[in-house]
Chain A
Amino acid sequence: MARRENSDINAGSMADIAFLLLIFFLVTTTMDVDTGLTRRLPPPAQNQDDTEVDVKKRNIFVVLVNSKNQLQVQGELMQIENLKEACKEFVANPNDLENMPEKEEIEIPYFGLYRVSKGVVSLQNDRGTEYGTYIAVQDALIAAYNELRDELAVKRFGKKYDNLPEDQQEAVRDVFPQRISEAEPKNIGGN
């Protein structure tokens, strides 16, 4: 019996089996990470009086989207590309203009007494608006707030908003609270 010494099992085909399994998992794997715009819906309207919150006209940034995907901002036609800048300027109101939102002095940690803008974005869309356009508008509005927060965070803490510790993030959030309100749906514009 000369072959008796070489008695270990031939493991050469193990690799083939493992490869087969590997390829199966490679093919079936979907590695997509779910990403998206996170929003919070308002609680259901109890009665009509509750929804009518008294907000001064100068504090509201009105964004309307019609069924032809056109954008009307503060009474004027606008392209989506310009929406972010317009919203930023409105909310920040750097020159304290008459037709832009009022400011209210609020005590905020890290900032002391800060004049917080009372601006609110009001978004209303038609039932015929394309979803892609709606998302583009939402994205631009969220981008406006995020950029304001980033700018403030860099100015005050020297870091971007996302890299700040939790309590500083909260302070920045207090300075620029994201107030995007969606009007109760109406069938405006028709065709």
Chain B
Amino acid sequence: MAKFTRKGKGGTPAISTASLPDIVFMLLFFFMVTTVMREVEMKIKLRIPEATQIKKLEKKSLVSYIYIGEPIPKYQSFFGTEPRIQLNDKFASVSDIRQFIESERAARDEAEVPLLTTSLKVDDECEMGIVTDVKQELREVQALKINYSTRKKVE
């Protein structure tokens, strides 16, 4: 019969937690690298519509966003309930788009300007009138590459 002998003083030896920080740091770095901090504060109600034929938007640095939707209740007393355009952190009108696109272009390298995409994040229930106006304005400033932001439809 073999004897089970305990070495040392008895009591289970503590598991070494020395590698725990390494593991946690690894996770930490992963999240740090993948994190995109939310850049703009949403001032509008935004429920993105669903679609099936979606494509991923490549090169986030080359995308400028235009948000359209009803102002959230906090701002409704001032801006009303009609759909409004939001550029960066501010409410804007259709005529501000020209300046917005130009400043987006100025911030980029000249060679990258033709690759700039404008992503339209528009609320599901918004009417097309304002979207059409925005599209006309984008045509005027030759910002022709657009992307209607949509979520993947769950089937």
Contacts and interface: CB of A to CB of B under 8 A. Distances in A.
Interface of A: 11-12, 14-15, 18-19, 21-22, 25-26, 28-31, 33-44, 125-132, 134-136, 138-139, 142-143, 146, 185
B103 interface: no
Nearest to A184: B136
A38 B145 contact: yes
Contacts of B57: 33-36, 38
Contact of B49 (A26, A39, A136): A136
A131 B145 CA distance: 19
Contact of A143 (B18, B50, B52, B152): B52
A41 B32 CA distance: 37
A138 B148 contact: yes
A34 B39 CA distance: 14
A29 B129 contact: no
Nearest to B124: A132
Contacts of A26: 31
Contact of B51 (A30, A37, A127): A37
A129 B50 CA distance: 16
Given A34-B56, A127-B127, A128-B128, A135 B49 contact: yes
Given A22-B27, A25-B28, A127-B127, 4 more contacts: A15-B20, A36-B148, A43-B142, A132-B125
A11 B127 contact: no
B126 interface: yes
A44 B53 CA distance: 27
Contacts, number: 144
B147 A36 contact: yes
Contacts of B25: 18
B54 A37 contact: yes
A133 to B, nearest CB: 9
Nearest to B60: A34
A44 B127 contact: no
Interface of B: 17-18, 20-21, 24-25, 27-28, 31-32, 34-38, 49-57, 60, 63, 117, 119, 122-129, 131-132, 135-136, 138-140, 142-152
A72 B67 CA distance: 29
A185 to B, nearest CB: 5
B38 A39 contact: no
Given A34-B149, A43-B139, A44-B139, A131 B60 contact: no
B147 A38 contact: yes
**CB-CB nearest 8 A-B residue pairs:** A127-B129, A25-B31, A18-B24, A139-B51, A34-B57, A14-B21, A132-B124, A36-B149
A29 B53 contact: no
A14 B17 CA distance: 10
B24 A131 contact: no
Given A11-B21, A29-B34, A42-B139, A35 B152 contact: yes
A143 B127 contact: no
A151 to B, nearest CB: 15
A34 B127 contact: no
B31 A127 contact: no
Nearest to B144: A41
Contacts of B143: 41
Contacts of B144: 40-43
